[in-house]
Chain A
Amino acid sequence: NAGVTQTPKFRVLKTGQSMTLLCAQDMNHEYMYWYRQDPGMGLRLIHYSVGEGTTAKGEVPDGYNVSRLKKQNFLLGLESAAPSQTSVYFCASSLVSGRSDTEAFFGQGTRLTVV
C-alpha cells in the first residue's frame, strides 16, 4: 500500500513548455485534489475531483487543466508553463464515509521550477 504517489518529484521547465504531473493513489479513494504551495504560503487548491470522470475548479485554476479518467489517477497539466507556476505541487486523496470524510492523505510533493 503506497498511499499517494506523485510523479515526478522534481522538474525544471522552460517557459512555454508543457508537462503533466501524475498523482496515483491505491486506497480506492473517491476524492482527489491538486494544491500548490508557494514560499511562506499555505496550500492553495487548484482543482479537485469528487469521482472518476468529474473535475471542479478550486481557488487558483487558471493555467492548469486536470483529468480523472481512472479512479486511482488524477493528472495535472500545464499547457504553457510560466515562471509564476514555479511552486511545490501537492496531490491528496480522501475517502468518503458516512456523514464526514476521513482524513486526506497527501503525496510528498513535486517541486517545479519554470525558467
Chain B
Amino acid sequence: DAKTTQPPSMDCAEGRAANLPCNHSTISGNEYVYWYRQIHSQGPQYIIHGLKNNETNEMASLIITEDRKSSTLILPHATLRDTAVYYCIVRVAHPRGSNYKLTFGKGTLLTVNP
C-alpha cells in the first residue's frame, strides 16, 4: 500500500470549513483513498473513500487531485464534536488478496475551537 503524509495537527474555528490535506504521491492505479477519524480513544469511525472522482456524503467531501497524488478531506461546517485524529489511508482495492489490510499512520489531530 502507498504511504501517506499528513500534518500532525491543525486548528479550525467552529462553524468554518476544515480542510485536511493528505499526500500520497506513490499511489497506484488500483488503490483507494480512505478517511477515518478517532474521537478521544474511541474506536475509529469511517468517514469516506474514493478512487479518482470527488465524493461527498453526509459527513464530508473528498477531493482527489487529477494526478491522484494528494487529496483533501473537507468538513463543511466543523463543530466541537469534530475534534479528533483524522487518518488518511491508501490501500489496494481488490478483495481477497494477501495484501488486503487497513494500515493506519499517525494521522492529523484536528482541534475545533469555539
Please give the residue numbers on chain A whose beta carbons come within 8 Å of chain B beta carbons, in ascending order. Answer: 4, 30-31, 33, 35, 41-45, 48, 50, 56, 58-59, 88, 90, 92, 94, 96, 99-101, 103-109
Q: In the complex the two chains form, what is the Cα distance from A18 to B101 in whole Å? A: 27
Q: Are A106 and B100 in contact (CB under 8 A)?
A: no
Please give the residue numbers on chain B whose beta carbons come within 8 Å of chain A beta carbons, in ascending order. Answer: 32, 36, 41-46, 49, 51, 85, 87, 93-96, 98, 100-107
Enumerate chain B residues within 8 angstroms of A41, measured Cβ to Cβ.
Answer: 106
Q: In the complex the two chains form, what is the Cα distance from A42 to B103 in whole Å? A: 9
Q: Are B101 and A107 in contact (CB under 8 A)?
A: no
Q: Tell me, rounded to whole Å, the shortest Cβ–Cβ distance linking B62 to chain A.
A: 13
Q: In the complex the two chains form, what is the Cα distance from A105 to B102 in whole Å? A: 12
Q: Are B98 and A109 in contact (CB under 8 A)?
A: no
Q: Are A94 and B43 in contact (CB under 8 A)?
A: no
Q: Which residue of A lies closest to B44 (CB)?
A: A106
Q: In the complex the two chains form, what is the Cα distance from A33 to B103 in whole Å? A: 10
7 contacts between A and B (CB under 8 A): A31-B100, A35-B104, A50-B100, A92-B44, A99-B93, A99-B95, A100-B93
Q: In the complex the two chains form, what is the Cα distance from A112 to B43 in whole Å? A: 15
Q: In the complex the two chains form, what is the Cα distance from A35 to B44 in whole Å? A: 11
Q: Which residue of A lies closest to B103 (CB)?
A: A45
Q: Tell me, rounded to whole Å, the shortest Cβ–Cβ distance linking A53 to chain B.
A: 14
Q: Which residue of B lies closest to A105 (CB)?
A: B46
Q: Are B93 and A107 in contact (CB under 8 A)?
A: no
Q: Known: A56-B98, A92-B102. Is A43-B44 also a contact (CB below 8 A)? A: yes
Q: Known: A42-B104, A43-B104. Is A104-B46 also a contact (CB below 8 A)? A: yes
Q: In the complex the two chains form, what is the Cα distance from A30 to B96 in whole Å? A: 10
Q: In the complex the two chains form, what is the Cα distance from A56 to B97 in whole Å? A: 11
Q: Are B95 and A101 in contact (CB under 8 A)?
A: yes
Q: In the complex the two chains form, what is the Cα distance from A43 to B43 in whole Å? A: 10
Q: Tell me, rounded to whole Å, the shortest Cβ–Cβ distance linking A61 to chain B.
A: 12
Enumerate chain A residues within 8 angstroms of B102, measured Cβ to Cβ.
Answer: 33, 45, 92, 94, 104
Q: In the complex the two chains form, what is the Cα distance from A109 to B38 in whole Å? A: 12
Q: In the complex the two chains form, what is the Cα distance from A56 to B87 in whole Å? A: 23
Q: In the complex the two chains form, what is the Cα distance from A34 to B93 in whole Å? A: 20
